Amino acid sequence: MKSPSKSLVTIKGIKEGLLFILEETAPFEDVLAELAYTLQHTHSSFLNGPLVHVHVRLGKRQGTDKLIGMVREAFSGRGNLIVQSVTSDEPTREAAEAGGALKLGAGMKRIAGIVRSGQVLHCNEDVLFLGDVNPGGTISSKGNILVLGSLRGMAHAGVDGFEEAVIAASHLRPTQLRIAGVVSRPPDEWGFQEAFMEFAFLRDGVMEIEKIHQLHRLRPLIGTSKGE
């Protein structure tokens, strides 16, 4: 039984704003109730002053569309708190399907953490990154890049010229994307402000963005040896 003194919502100040960490094993309705109380009473001072960007971590609780919607609803109307991301350590159904298409096995490196501004993470193989790539941070790979989190920095897949590489993310809002030698257009020219469960790929030498469920159709050979 959960101790009554154990907090279900932990708030930390980070460079990008505020990080809300939600307890991952308690009933979600209890977590939401404490979150609402915290926003309304304990930290009501947050609702005044300049805009504050909020990032929410769900831990191992799966980030379904319904659950993420409930979290965002809890923050709606809360003054200056702007939810930038809601991330989970567990893949969604679509991410799991993407993982199947990418054949997440021995050939893919798994890394968890945060790539902060000024940091560069490079892998020689396909990479599954569990966490956020912040603005000013860079993730690169000779193969494919799959980010289960927010990609808000720079990502470069296929750095050795592999044009079939893809870049996928739960929340796609990068400063720049590169695949092989092709550099993306500025994000404000892509035609969207926020993208969830999207991936970037090259078609006839031009970078395009598609929903993750199209991955198996557009890249059916992903996961096989590049020499086959």
- pLDDT tens column, 134-169: 989 999 999 999 998 889 899 999 999 999 999 999
Instruction: Please report the pLDDT score of residue 31 as a whole number.
Output: 94
Provide the pairing of β-strand 138-141 with 120-123: parallel
Q: Catalogue the long-range contacts made by 132-140 (C-beta closer than 8 Å, 24 or more residues apart).
A: 132/55, 132/85, 132/87, 133/174, 134/15, 134/16, 135/16, 135/175, 136/175, 139/115
**pLDDT at residue 29 in the model:** 93
Give residue 1's pLDDT: 40
**Sequential DSSP letters for 161-228:** S-TT--EEEEEE--SEEEETTEEPPPGGGTT-S-EEEEEEEEETTEEEEEEGGGHHHH-TTBTB-TT-
What's the pLDDT tens digit per position in 69-101? 888 888 887 767 777 777 777 655 555 554 554
pLDDT > 80? residue 179: yes
Q: Are 108 and 102 in contact (CB under 8 A)?
A: yes
Average pLDDT over residues 30-58: 79
Q: What is the mean pLDDT of residues 201-226?
A: 72
Higher-confidence residue of 187 and 24: namely 24
> What pLDDT, on the 0 to 100 scale, is given for residue 96?
52
Which of 15-24, 163-172, 208-217 comes out lowest in average pLDDT? 208-217
Do 21 and 10 touch, CB atoms closer than 8 A? yes
Beta strands 176-179; 9-14: pairing state: unpaired
The reported pLDDT for the residue numbered 160 is: 92
**Distance from chain centroid for Cα 157:** 16
CB 205 within 8 A of CB 224: no
Distance from the Cα of residue 37 to its chain's centroid: 27
**Above 70 in pLDDT, residue 46?**
no
What DSSP character marks residue 39? I
Rounded to 5 degrees, what are φ and ψ at 8?
-90, -10
Residue 66: its pLDDT value, please?
A: 81
Q: Which residues of 166-189 are buried (b: 16+ CB within 10 A; e: fewer)?
A: bbbbbbbbbbebbbbeeebeebee
